[in-house]
Amino acid sequence: MNDTGLLIVLSGFSGSGKGTIMNRLLSRYPEQYALSVSATTRQPRAGETEGKEYFFKTKEEFLRMIEQNELLEYAQYVDNYYGTPKTYVKEQLEAHKNVILEIEIQGALKIREQFPETLLLFVTPPSAEVLKNRLTGRGTESEEVIHSRLVRAVEEADGCEVYDYLVINDDLDACVEEVHHIILSERSRMERRLSTIETIKNQLKQYVKGEK
Amino acid sequence: MNDTGLLIVLSGFSGSGKGTIMNRLLSRYPEQYALSVSATTRQPRAGETEGKEYFFKTKEEFLRMIEQNELLEYAQYVDNYYGTPKTYVKEQLEAHKNVILEIEIQGALKIREQFPETLLLFVTPPSAEVLKNRLTGRGTESEEVIHSRLVRAVEEADGCEVYDYLVINDDLDACVEEVHHIILSERSRMERRLSTIETIKNQLKQYVKGEK
């Protein structure tokens, strides 16, 4: 097929394994996926490379990017800005790569406003109990820490019903394959293949008319 | 998962290979798929068994089935009726089997009216040229026969834009796997997993409240 890649948002609970799923997809199918590289105003840490972990920007540069509508979405944490540059994502999509963004629901909805064809996947452990156990860790955390993680989990899932898929991460390997196949299958959805069927239908009509 | 099977309609051009795809799915994954068995008023042919190829009915029985709304869809060809009995399909779905119906667009739309969650797949060869070559056969058919097949192909595709997926049958084996993965992926769509995420969210809220 001659189509571009898909833009995919992977969200989910902290502890759902979404980061691992993303990394596995990239290492198993490097020719099919690209990670989105974020822009940030925070200082590079030791070992971080421009254009790999992040595109490092000054605050002035970042504000100019916002102003010129060069970001798909952005957010501010503490004193730093983080955002997804449009150009990089578009280049990857045009190179037939599926681009995965690991962001939260609010950012996902902003992206879908601009690119309605964005695919939204929400990852969850198989049950609340499993999630709680993962968040509780080795039993060394204070009740306060555990409580605040549970509060965060409730917030993380708020509004996830608008997502396209709910991916249940029970077995990691099976889950990575499931996500991969969801993405492959989505490429065959009729709304993404309207031009293909249109071409076939027009050609058939020409055959009937005897024009070709 | 504890959900029921999916109802799947497989339509497509004559010569698209949809019948073969269906048979391969059934033989590769017999525990996951069931074929719908049609009811018909036509006489059984040699070797045909009641409940296997068809449920054989008298015209009176068939008309009673229509009247009592026991058919998902039905059609009349020449002097005989053909239809899809609801009970059999429901039993298979409840036994967690995905039920595949090989029918044309008009019947597919009637079924979707009654079961909006029905999955509609349309199978096409990779191009109109390939389809034409398949319909032309070994070059032994008259121009009239070929023309009428092409006319039929145009009719077969009329309205297929409302289908969920356009499956391109280029390589048969790959296509069978693609259809299988589309069906597996569809089971993870959010609208089919709303009760799962609802349960997880409610449970999390109870943890936060400290009720459990």
Contact between B93 and B5 under an 8 Å Cβ cutoff? The reply is: yes
The one-digit pLDDT tens for each residue of chain A (212 residues) are 457 899 999 999 988 999 999 999 999 999 999 988 899 999 999 999 998 889 999 999 999 999 999 999 998 888 899 999 999 999 999 999 999 999 889 889 989 998 899 999 999 999 999 999 888 876 778 888 888 999 999 999 999 999 999 999 999 999 999 999 999 999 999 999 999 999 999 999 999 998 55
| Whether A177 contacts chain B with CB within 8 A | no
Residue in B closest to A179 by C-alpha: B185
Of residues B14, B23, B35, the one with CA closest to residue B104: B14
Rounded alpha-carbon distances, angstroms, from residue B92 to A204, B86, B97, B206: 38, 10, 5, 37
| Whether B145 contacts chain A with CB within 8 A | no
| Whether B181 contacts chain A with CB within 8 A | yes
Q: Which chain B residues are within 8 Å of A194, Cβ to Cβ?
A: 161
pTM across the whole model: 0.89
Q: Which residues contact A48 (CB under 8 A, 6 or more apart)?
A: A54
> Rounded to the nearest 10 degrees, how much is the dihedral formed by the CA atoms of B7, B11, B15, B17?
-20
Tokens found for residue A28: 């198993």
- The 10s digit of each residue's pLDDT in B31-42 is 999 988 899 999
Q: Which residues are B99's β-sheet partners?
A: B7, B34
A-contacting residues in B 21-60 (Cβ below 8 Å): none
Partner-chain contact A161 B194, CB within 8 Å: yes
Residue in A closest to B204 by C-alpha: A128
- The 10s digit of each residue's pLDDT in B148-161 is 999 999 999 999 99
